């Protein structure tokens, strides 16, 4: 038996309701064969107002011929492909639509059309050929009433219509409606109608259940000796169904449900038939048989009841406000099992769908309203005791104990200083007591479950990360190394990491302890430490990750340690899984890494467990993976496998008594059923669900399917195709891509979270093949492709004839243009040569000007320092063996001139001084501005006496000159240093001696000359 077998503790229930709830929700472990059944609640994915539903109250569900799901609401009709909702409301003006937005019933027809029964608008047929609505008449030659409660297939090309005021029959071929006489005992109002496989017509009426046997014309009441069943059949009958085995089910307005077995005997549904203690039941709105044979009973206010015929009780599936994945609302008006096996429920808070085949994994979530739910969000540790009970260490001091034999969960809580501390580890001592590692240690009595807090004062302030029994002793892993506590003698021993001692514990952070053969393995924050024989030895063998050595540990942060199917050791690290065979004597451990390159979705591995088939299962930071123990092939679980808890960070894992694997995650507990195999099912189609071709939306009935042809005309070459894999499972995990062969070089991958659509604009003309692809994730991944032929018609100028004509005209035009161009270029060449000559002359003049600007000082017009040094260097080379002198000038107290008269006056003084110097220069002498108020004079072919004479004349002339600026006379004097060139002397050395002479003149009183020695 699948589904939820659990009891809700709702404090808002009345006292009478509590008795009924207890009777309905008896644990089902006795008959189901699955001990996890009381804890395995269906996971519902929901579609609501925020996703685009026009109204939160959904009333009907149907799947059409092409696999699209149609949803009836109180605010309109919705077409859904798993990603997009298209809403059809009441028509207005020129836009035809539904005559009434309140949809009560839906029936998908074999030709792809859809019948819609409305609350006040009668019966409507949606025609996908043109996306139009056809409204059937009411009255003569039409329906008995505008309120249509239910529609039923007559399996012969017609439809039965249950209305407010009678039963009608529609011939789909002719479109004619006739009224059906239901006899004097039946009331006018009919809620449901169904024709069984034997041709009997069953009518759910305001006065009870009626049947018209095949070959007869009268409706009669079926006999039901069973009193609870008879009470049901005499009540208003809102729902009728025939299951695969031939049983007939009837659901009433207030008396619950009953069923007729294949022998014709009627039975009540235990706890949900008749009026126990005069209590009325919620109205039954629909039935559904699951793939494994259970019956789901949709009720108006009581959620869904699941019942396996012959079982002593029903199980309730309802809304839990604390669990977002529960049924969104308890008023369920319709159920549907689609072609992929999903079960859909139309509730008062949106539509919900559940995949019963996603059972390799399931999630046990927290809820304060549920006895068999977790007490806290995060599972930090897991342990299975010798009685088969499963202990879960949670956050904030919570401990949950799962008793699979009893089908229930117990909730414990630490007190005192440990009340808000996470429970990081659990272990069973030799005496059967359960030891709890938290902030220090606590102990739980295995029989009474009484808790003794802080049992070991020496460890009271230490977080206990891991526990492992060692006979009468307990090995304890902390952030402070290893402790070993003898429970009998109360002796506490310790071992830790010793710096610079390679044989000590690898790290004081001991995250996991495992017994591998006769050895003790300690997973630490800095590698593995192995103790041979004794759990607390004097020395350890340490294994660490070594950069560049592929046979070392993948990484040093260790999660868990597990023995594999062939004696291998599997170590989870934050760099991937490490797997190693036991080495021969004297050899080192050699690991093989399984990480991202081998297919893991993350290399942050927290815990690893082996199943009975030799496969390894690992919890990762972003999911769970399965690894083949022989080939090491990796498969990552997905939502299609039932994995809903996405993240795992704790070293929390254990193997349940039945072989299930348990992993603690952020958000709850994940239970893995390694042996589960889903029922075989047909692959869902990858379908085009909307198309805009040539700028026009295509009617649903004309949407292209596999190998269909799409033609784009000459005027509009834009194409948009919305497509989807119509299995309605894990849409966020389905990877979509598309490619236009003949145009695209590679596949266009649709980013995760984007709606799957293929969009092309301005397509070139030609013939193409558009390939659509969907790839699923999980343990049974598969890829589905759909191919479509696309033809783009050429425009008139893209035809072969038009191209030939255009080529000839172009050739003639080119010839004419070449001739004209030749004439034009001849004339242009003459003009161009004149322009070149003129520009050349201008360029020469500009170059000369640039040379002058680059060589002269902008203020004085004499050579700048760079140019002067170049020319003086040439004179030095020419004067080797001859005579040449340099005189270096510095204006005396020039700073005072600037300070007293301003910089403009200073510039005028510099210009005046240069003018005096130039007046005393000969042809061939070089004058330059050396920098600031310093000037330099090179005198080629000049002896030292002559150079001194020239310098003294210049000195005297400067002293006799006054510079006028702004009406003020500024006296000017200069100090001069003279140096004659020495053989082999560089220009720098020559200037340096002149500079020293200049400073001698300065120190001698200024306004004078000095000769370098």
On whether both 766 and 818 belong to a single domain, the answer is: no
Say if 344 falls within a structural domain.
no
Residue 677 has a pLDDT of 87
On whether both 810 and 868 belong to a single domain, the answer is: no
Read off the pLDDT of residues 797-826 as tens digits, 9 standing for 90 and up. 777 787 788 888 889 899 888 988 888 888
On whether both 785 and 804 belong to a single domain, the answer is: no
- From residue 816, alpha-carbon distances to 179, 608, 810, 823, 880 in Å are 86, 82, 10, 11, 73
How many domains would you assign to the chain?
4
Say if 441 falls within a structural domain.
no
Residue 714 has a pLDDT of 81
CATH of the domain at 749: 2.60.40.10
On whether both 865 and 987 belong to a single domain, the answer is: yes
On whether both 869 and 1002 belong to a single domain, the answer is: yes
Residue 599: band (very low, low, confident or very high) from pLDDT cuts 50, 70, 90: very high
Residue 25 has a pLDDT of 39
Q: Examine the pLDDT at 732 and tell me if it is beyond 70.
A: yes
Task: Report d(CA 425, CA 49) in Å as an integer.
Answer: 44
Q: Examine the pLDDT at 149 and tell me if it is beyond 80.
A: yes
On whether both 601 and 690 belong to a single domain, the answer is: no
Helix (H, G, I), strand (E, B) or coil at 194: strand
Please give the helix or strand (H or E) that residue 848 lies within, else none: helix 800-855
Q: Are residues 174 and 197 in contact, defined by beta-carbon separation less than 8 angstroms? A: no
Q: Tally DSSP H helices, then E strands, for the chain.
A: 9, 71
Other Cβ atoms within 10 Å of 899 Cβ, number = 11
With CA atoms as reference, report the closest residue to 75 among 95, 59, 62, 94.
59
| DSSP secondary structure code for residue 731 in this structure | G
Q: Examine the pLDDT at 230 and tell me if it is beyond 90.
A: yes
On whether both 862 and 939 belong to a single domain, the answer is: yes
On whether both 864 and 785 belong to a single domain, the answer is: no
Read off the pLDDT of residues 702-727 as tens digits, 9 standing for 90 and up. 999 888 999 998 878 899 999 999 99
- DSSP per residue over 17-30, as a string? HHHHHHHHT---HH
Task: Report d(CA 694, CA 416) in Å as an integer.
Answer: 73
CATH of the domain at 572: 2.130.10.10
Say if 971 falls within a structural domain.
yes
On whether both 754 and 767 belong to a single domain, the answer is: yes
Say if 883 falls within a structural domain.
yes
Task: Report d(CA 931, CA 694) in Å as an integer.
Answer: 79
Please give the helix or strand (H or E) that residue 907 lies within, else none: helix 903-919
Task: Report d(CA 162, CA 61) in Å as an integer.
Answer: 17
On whether both 850 and 862 belong to a single domain, the answer is: no
Read off the pLDDT of residues 544-598 as tens digits, 9 standing for 90 and up. 999 999 999 999 999 999 988 788 999 999 999 999 999 988 889 999 999 999 9
Q: Which of 855, 872, 899 is the last residue of a domain?
A: 855
Say if 923 falls within a structural domain.
yes
Domain containing residue 724: 686-793
Between 536 and 90, whose confidence is greater?
536
Q: Are residues 288 and 336 in contact, defined by beta-carbon separation less than 8 angstroms? A: yes
On whether both 876 and 998 belong to a single domain, the answer is: yes
Q: Examine the pLDDT at 931 and tell me if it is beyond 80.
A: yes
With CA atoms as reference, report the closest residue to 925 among 912, 935, 911, 933.
935
Residue 966: band (very low, low, confident or very high) from pLDDT cuts 50, 70, 90: confident
Read off the pLDDT of residues 494-531 as tens digits, 9 standing for 90 and up. 999 999 999 999 999 999 999 998 999 999 999 999 99
Please give the helix or strand (H or E) that residue 665 lies within, else none: strand 661-665
Say if 304 falls within a structural domain.
no
Read off the pLDDT of residues 373-413 as tens digits, 9 standing for 90 and up. 999 999 999 999 999 999 999 999 999 999 999 999 999 99
Q: Which of 855, 873, 902 is the last residue of a domain?
A: 855
Q: Any idea which residues carry the catalytic annotation?
A: 933
Residue 16 has a pLDDT of 34
Positive or negative CA dihedral for 685, 690, 694, 698? positive
Say if 508 falls within a structural domain.
no
Q: Are residues 770 and 788 in contact, defined by beta-carbon separation less than 8 angstroms? A: yes
Say if 419 falls within a structural domain.
no
Task: Report d(CA 937, CA 875) in Å as an integer.
Answer: 12
Other Cβ atoms within 10 Å of 207 Cβ, number = 18
On whether both 820 and 845 belong to a single domain, the answer is: yes
Q: Which of 677, 711, 726 is the last residue of a domain?
A: 677
Task: Report d(CA 811, CA 820) in Å as an integer.
Answer: 14
- From residue 286, alpha-carbon distances to 132, 204, 345, 564 in Å are 29, 12, 10, 49
């Amino acid at each position: 038996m699948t589904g939820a077998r659990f009891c809700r503790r709702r404090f808002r229930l009345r006292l009478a309701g509590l008795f009924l709830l207890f009777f309905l929700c008896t644990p089902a472990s006795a008959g189901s064969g699955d001990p996890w059944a009381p804890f395995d609640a269906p996971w519902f994915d929901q579609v609501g107002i925020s996703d685009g539903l026009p109204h939160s109250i959904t009333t009907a569900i149907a799947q059409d011929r092409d696999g699209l799901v149609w949803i009836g609401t109180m605010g309109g009709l919705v077409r859904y492909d798993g990603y997009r909702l298209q809403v059809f409301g009441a028509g207005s003006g020129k836009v035809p639509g539904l005559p009434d937005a309140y949809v009560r019933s839906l029936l998908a027809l074999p030709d792809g059309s859809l019948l819609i029964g409305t609350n006040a608008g009668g019966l409507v047929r949606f025609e996908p050929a043109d996306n139009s609505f056809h409204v059937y008449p009411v009255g003569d030659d039409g329906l008995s009433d505008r309120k249509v409660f239910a529609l039923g297939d007559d399996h012969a090309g017609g439809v039965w219509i249950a209305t407010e005021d009678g039963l009608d029959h529609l011939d789909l071929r002719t479109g004619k409606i006739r009224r059906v006489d239901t006899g004097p005992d039946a009331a006018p109002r009919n809620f449901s109608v169904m024709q069984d496989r034997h041709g009997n017509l069953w009518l759910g009426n305001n006065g009870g259940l009626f049947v018209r046997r095949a070959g007869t014309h009268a409706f009669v009441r079926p006999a039901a000796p069973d009193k609870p069943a008879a009470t049901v059949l005499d009540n208003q009958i809102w729902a009728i169904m025939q299951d695969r085995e031939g049983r007939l089910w009837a659901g009433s307005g207030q008396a619950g449900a009953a069923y007729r077995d294949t022998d014709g005997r009627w039975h009540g549904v235990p706890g949900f038939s008749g009026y126990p203690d005069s209590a009325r039941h919620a109205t039954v709105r629909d039935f559904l048989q699951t793939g494994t044979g259970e019956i789901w009973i949709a009720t108006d206010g009581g959620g869904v009841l699941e019942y396996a015929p012959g079982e002593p009780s029903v199980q309730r599936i309802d809304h839990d406000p604390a669990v977002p994945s529960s049924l969104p609302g308890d008023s369920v008006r319709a159920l549907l099992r689609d072609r992929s096996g999903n079960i859909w429920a139309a509730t008062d808070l949106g539509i919900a769908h559940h995949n019963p085949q996603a059972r390799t994994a399931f999630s046990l979530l927290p809820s304060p309203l549920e006895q068999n739910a977790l007490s806290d969000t995060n599972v930090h540790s897991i342990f299975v005791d010798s009685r088969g009970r499963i202990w879960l260490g949670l956050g904030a001091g919570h401990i949950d104990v799962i008793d699979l034999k009893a089908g229930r969960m117990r909730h414990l809580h630490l007190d005192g200083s440990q009340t808000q501390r996470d429970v990081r580890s659990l272990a069973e001592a030799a005496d059967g007591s359960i030891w709890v590692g938290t902030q220090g240690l606590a102990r739980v009595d295995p029989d009474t479950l009484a808790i003794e807090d802080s049992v070991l004062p020496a460890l009271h302030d230490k977080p206990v990360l891991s526990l492992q029994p060692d006979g009468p002793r307990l090995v304890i892993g902390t952030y402070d190394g290893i402790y070993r506590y003898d429970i009998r003698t109360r002796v506490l021993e310790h071992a830790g990491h010793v710096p610079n001692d390679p044989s000590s514990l690898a790290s004081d952070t001991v995250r996991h302890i495992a017994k591998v053969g006769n050895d003790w393995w300690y997973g630490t924050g800095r590698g593995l430490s192995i103790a041979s024989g004794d759990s607390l030895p004097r020395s350890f063998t340490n294994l660490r990750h070594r950069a560049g050595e592929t046979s070392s540990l993948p990484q040093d942060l260790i999660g868990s340690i597990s023995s594999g199917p062939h004696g291998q050791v599997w170590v989870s690290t934050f760099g991937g899984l490490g797997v190693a065979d036991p080495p021969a004597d004297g050899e080192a451990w050699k690991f093989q890494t399984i990480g991202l390159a081998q297919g893991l979705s993350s290399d942050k591995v927290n815990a690893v467990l082996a199943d009975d088939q030799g496969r390894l299962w690992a919890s990762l930071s972003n999911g769970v993976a399965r690894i083949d123990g022989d080939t090491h092939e990796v498969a990552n679980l997905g939502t299609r496998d039932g994995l809903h808890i996405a993240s795992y960070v704790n070293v929390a894992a254990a193997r349940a008594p039945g072989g299930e694997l348990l992993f603690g995650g952020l958000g709850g507990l994940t239970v893995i059923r390694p042996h589960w195999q889903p029922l075989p099912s047909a692959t869902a189609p990858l379908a085009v669900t909307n198309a805009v071709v040539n700028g026009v939306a295509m009617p649903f009935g004309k949407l292209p399917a596999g190998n269909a042809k799409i033609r784009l005309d000459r005027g509009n070459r834009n194409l948009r195709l919305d497509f989807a894999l119509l299995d309605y499972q894990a849409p966020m995990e389905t990877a979509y891509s598309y490619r236009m062969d003949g145009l695209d070089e590679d596949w266009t991958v649709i980013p995760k979270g984007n709606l799957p659509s293929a969009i092309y604009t301005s397509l070139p003309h030609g013939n193409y093949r558009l390939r659509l692809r969907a790839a699923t994730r999980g343990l049974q991944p598969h890829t589905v492709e759909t191919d479509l032929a696309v033809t783009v018609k050429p425009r008139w100028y893209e035809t072969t004839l038009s191209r030939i004509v255009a080529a000839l005209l172009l050739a003639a035009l080119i010839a004419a243009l070449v001739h004209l161009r030749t004439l034009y270029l001849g004339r242009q060449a003459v003009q161009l040569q004149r322009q070149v000559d003129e520009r050349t002359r201008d360029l020469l003049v500009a170059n000369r000007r640039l040379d002058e600007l680059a060589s002269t000082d902008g203020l004085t017009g004499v050579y700048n320092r760079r140019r002067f040094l170049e020319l003086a260097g040439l004179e030095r080379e020419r004067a080797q063996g001859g005579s040449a002198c340099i005189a270096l000038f510095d204006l005396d107290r020039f700073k005072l001139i600037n300070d007293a008269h301003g910089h403009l006056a200073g510039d005028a003084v510099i210009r005046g001084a240069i003018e005096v110097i130039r007046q005393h220069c000969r042809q061939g002498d070089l004058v330059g501005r050396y920098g600031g108020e310093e000037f330099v004079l090179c005198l080629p072919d000049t002896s030292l006496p002559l150079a001194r004479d020239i310098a003294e004349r210049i000195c005297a002339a400067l002293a006799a000159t006054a510079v006028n600026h702004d009406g003020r006379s500024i006296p000017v004097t200069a100090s001069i240093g003279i140096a004659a060139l020495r053989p082999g002397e560089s220009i720098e050395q020559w200037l340096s001696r002149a500079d020293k002479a200049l400073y001698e003149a300065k120190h001698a009183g200024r306004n004078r000359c000095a000769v370098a020695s």
